[in-house]
A and B are shown apart, each in its own frame.
Chain A
């Protein structure tokens, strides 16, 4: 069983978590071009790498950030949003 560490609840099986994709900066919808907005809405970085992702510990509804190697499926760090990694 894969273990993910929630910054508040500690190490738990990954089945207690929900994955919400890579953290991506949102362009300003009022000023950006239609193409830039469509790029934000649809396009993803599907190549493997070390990515910052949104995860949620569903049993406690704790949202946090995981730094994960998506090819090796290795979680390198987890922290609460706003805290220094």
Chain B
């Protein structure tokens, strides 16, 4: 997946502290599901989140998220993702094509934006930082988790790629009203 936002993100530090939205759609990603998936991924040397709807940071960068009972999303390190994509599949493992649009939101006013577009109050992630939430944001099905520390949270967001443009436009419009905007990924805390 290519980046979905057309305007080049300005390297605007002010946005990043107030409310910044980075487009991470172009990151490498792999998905798999099915009853054999946990064992298969473990065999590939990946650590596995113990609970459904939780995630772990990977030692080589990136993350692995468990979506529901038997579905996993791996994102980050291109070489690692490539090795998962190429590994011969075992019984009960079905590939999931990940054509997500993906974003990261940060800044002091990020909650004000989130409260306008989603029913879930993401402050609950402060109590359980390993939680992955699958919900609906501005009418679009999204997967959300929080990385970064509590003082400077970064909310990661994935949605179906075909909704990416709409969701990005919607979020950027609100971010603009709150004094934020698009940022380059390297400005994320």
Contacts and interface: CB of A to CB of B under 8 A. Distances in A.
The answer to A–B direct touch (Cβ < 8 A) is yes
Interface of A: 1, 8-9, 12-13, 15-16, 57-62
Contacts of A12: 119-120, 135
14 contacts: A8-B53, A9-B53, A9-B134, A9-B135, A12-B119, A12-B135, A13-B136, A15-B119, A16-B135, A57-B134, A59-B141, A59-B143, A60-B134, A62-B68
Contacts of A16: 119, 135-136
A60 B133 CA distance: 9
Contacts of A61: 68
B165 to A, nearest CB: 19
A9 B52 CA distance: 9
Contact of B136 (A1, A8, A15, A62): A15
A58 B143 CA distance: 12
Which label, helix, strand, loop or mixed, suits the secondary structure of the B interface? strand
Contact of B142 (A15, A57, A59, A62): A59
Nearest to B141: A59
Contacts of B52: 8
Contacts of A60: 53, 67-68, 134, 141
B169 interface: no
Q: Which 9 A-B pairs have the closest CB atoms?
A: A60-B134, A59-B141, A59-B134, A13-B119, A16-B136, A59-B135, A59-B136, A60-B68, A8-B52
A59 B142 CA distance: 6
Contacts of A15: 119, 136
Interface in B10-58: 52-53
Contacts of A8: 52-53, 68-69
A27 to B, nearest CB: 29
A67 B122 CA distance: 29
A61 B82 CA distance: 26
A58 B134 CA distance: 9
Contacts of B53: 8-9, 60
B29 to A, nearest CB: 17
Given A9-B135, A59-B135, 13 more contacts: A8-B52, A8-B69, A9-B133, A12-B120, A13-B119, A13-B136, A16-B135, A57-B134, A58-B136, A59-B143, A60-B53, A60-B67, A61-B68
